[in-house]
Copies of this chain bind each other. A is one copy, B any other.
């Protein structure tokens, strides 16, 4: 797209009260705008990143048989009373309707999907099944000060699976964990992410978190020095040795939970009476698992772990554009004509390009480009004499190439 048409601009000074690095960078570069604490608008660049994250997650959930659906945010009080969470869930937004009924704004969706599935599950033949949504969640946080890492409103992928036996749940849980690793690999944070044991609540020994190392994180984890499994601080006292390899040497790190998987077992199917008839005709309670990833948080985490003093460095898979094409000396007809042609050729080659065709100084353009953080910068000017200066955002090396050479390099051919 033409940068002259993009309605956002980079912003020099943002409010001093914004302390979080991810929010600072995303706001300055024009990816998000802060409406109030913990509540952000996704501007066009930010929405492009979100859609890419969304599609990666969707592909991996579909690959393990997840069926996509979309549940409401506005949820009747009665459902939350049934599970005992109307008063027990500490960050639930509550409101009253003109129909004089009380509602919760969904912070999670066990209270909706469990009764829903009583309509579709009656026999062991209906199991296993898994459904997910990519949907807006609300959490009534007292404080929101970590930018996109903890919002009062955010987009989440939550999947729920239903099984006839705990053994089947266990097997699917492993598959979901593998899908999560694929997601974190594709968005570029796998190397900094640790599979982490956390509290399993009343029903399971552990739940599992995917924790990404960053000083912006709100959690403390203990990473086993031998096998890289981690243990969340909340259960460290009861877990003096690594449950995987038995050593007791841990490294302490701050981290942010980017994903969470949980064996709910019958915690929700019991109160909603979600049952099935087994092969012998005997009624049994359905076993459930749940699997969450916050999309905004994932985006904020990538920014926290992938930046330098000049701005964001997007991994190619989730970058708003793959190429930032910049024309300098906009009044030089030859350079402008060449840049227009390169823009057309890149689009034709199905490469996503932000084309900086604005009438601004080289310095201003380079500064904006570094801040926005698109993986490849292509510069055309009077001095490039028909060629293109190609530079990766993450590197200092500049290569002077023709169009074919540039496309080959970008595509990794």
A73 interfacial by beta-carbon distance below 8 Å: yes
A8 interfacial by beta-carbon distance below 8 Å: yes
Which interface class (under 10, 10 to 19, 20 to 34, 35 or more) fits A?
Answer: 35 or more
0/1 interface trace, chain A 353-384, chain B, CB 8 Å (1 if under): 00000000000000000000000000000000
Known: A9-B120, A93-B97, A95-B95. A75 touches B35 (CB 8 A): yes
CA distance A80 to B68 in the complex (A): 35
A348 interfacial by beta-carbon distance below 8 Å: no
B residues less than 8 Å from A68 (CB atoms): 44, 47
Would you give the shortest CB distance from A199 to chain B, in whole angstroms?
23
User: Which residue from chain B places its CB closest to the CB of A153 in the assembled complex?
Assistant: B74
Task: Please name 14 pairs of A and B residues whose Cβ atoms are closer than 8 Å in the assembled complex, sorted by A.
Answer: A6-B67, A7-B129, A11-B119, A33-B116, A36-B76, A36-B101, A39-B72, A41-B71, A41-B112, A43-B69, A47-B70, A74-B138, A98-B141, A105-B105
CA distance A336 to B193 in the complex (A): 46
A131 interfacial by beta-carbon distance below 8 Å: yes
A99 interfacial by beta-carbon distance below 8 Å: yes
- Quick check: B67 and A42 within 8 Å, CB to CB? no
0/1 interface trace, chain A 18-50, chain B, CB 8 Å (1 if under): 000000000000000101110111111011001
**Interface residues in A152-185 (C-beta closer than 8 Å to B):** 152-153
B residues less than 8 Å from A42 (CB atoms): 69-71
Would you give the shortest CB distance from A112 to chain B, in whole angstroms?
6
Select A73's contact among B7, B73, B116, beta carbons within 8 Å.
Answer: B73
CA distance A38 to B30 in the complex (A): 36
> Considering residues A5, A35, A93, A126, which has the most beta carbons from chain B within 10 angstroms of its beta carbon?
A35
- Quick check: B72 and A40 within 8 Å, CB to CB? yes
> Considering residues A5, A98, A152, which has the most beta carbons from chain B within 10 angstroms of its beta carbon?
A98
- Quick check: A143 and B37 within 8 Å, CB to CB? no
Would you give the shortest CB distance from A190 to chain B, in whole angstroms?
27
A142 interfacial by beta-carbon distance below 8 Å: yes
- Quick check: B35 and A72 within 8 Å, CB to CB? yes
